[in-house]
Amino acid sequence: MRTARKRTFRLLAVTTLATPLLAAAPPVTSTGWASSGSLDVTVDNEHVVTGELAKCTADGPYRARTVGGTTGDVAAFGIGESGCGRSGAVSVAQASGHRFEATVLQRYGGPVITVRTYSAKCATSETGSGGEVSIGTVEGITVPAQIPPNDRIVIPGGAAGTALATVILNETVTPQPPDGSLVTHAVHIKLFPQGGPASGDIYLGTAACDPFGKK
């Protein structure tokens, strides 16, 4: 079922340390990185991987760009770019992309998923990190008018009632126990999460920040 939705913007959860830093703690240097997207999947015994597209880091390269391209009949990425930097104790990382299309599910009777625009951003603070994402028009799946954090959409159609894929929008990944770091993904597509003829992950718009990343 294809639906379109207006561009939406959501603030992701902020992650902080459970306990404050001690005054005598040694100085630290925050870190951050971002990429416009990545793909690492195995489809019918064929492994397809792109690496991080247009990746920047707070230590350089500070900006990156990709013209995109097609990965066989799995997916196609449009133009993407990223920017990272550090100002004093604060690191900032952000990335965006355009006109993504995933065709991999078609061979199993699933939909073509398209995302017109997307972006992810994060920044550190003295005690943690915060992030936000933006997602433009999505087609091929039904999405809510307002996208909450870690909104999970199941695409049915696998064998014995299993899913062809899950799509996670506005995803935040934090370690347990919290250490102040986080990773944000605008869109995360996981193929056959319960097992099947394909496996792996597709990410659109990734930004990762750690306020205590470099001692």
| Kind and range of the H or E run holding 86 | strand 80-87
Q: Which single residue is written with the structure tokens 């990223």?
A: 82
Exposure of 29 by Cβ count < 10 A (0-12 exposed, 13-18 middle, 19+ buried)? middle
Number of helices (H), then strands (E), belonging to the chain: the values are: 0, 17
Structure tokens at 33: 């990185």
Greatest Cα pair distance, the chain, in angstroms, is 59
List b or e across 98-111, with b for residues whose CB sees 16 or more CB atoms inside 10 angstroms.
Answer: bbbbbbbbeebebb
Sign of CA dihedral 142, 47, 64, 92: positive
- Does residue 20 belong to any structural domain of this protein? no
What is the pLDDT, as a whole number, of residue 167? Answer: 98
Tally the domains of the chain: 1
pLDDT-based confidence at 25, cuts 50/70/90?
low
Q: Which domain holds residue 51?
A: 8-13+29-214
Query: Can you give the pLDDT at residue 5?
Result: 39
- Domain assignment present for 3: no
In a domain, 45, yes or no: yes
Q: Classify residue 125: in a domain, yes or no.
A: yes
Strands (E), 103-181: 113-124, 128-135, 138-139, 151-156, 163-173
Which whole number is the average pLDDT over 11-34?
59
Q: Is residue 19 part of a domain?
A: no
pLDDT digits (tens, 9 = 90+) for 56-106: 999 999 999 999 999 989 999 999 999 999 999 999 999 999 999 999 999
For the chain, give the number of residues. 215
- How high is the pLDDT of residue 1? 38
How far apart CA 38 and CA 54 sit, in angstroms, is 9
Residue 33 lies in a domain: yes
Q: Please report whether residue 78 resides in a domain.
A: yes
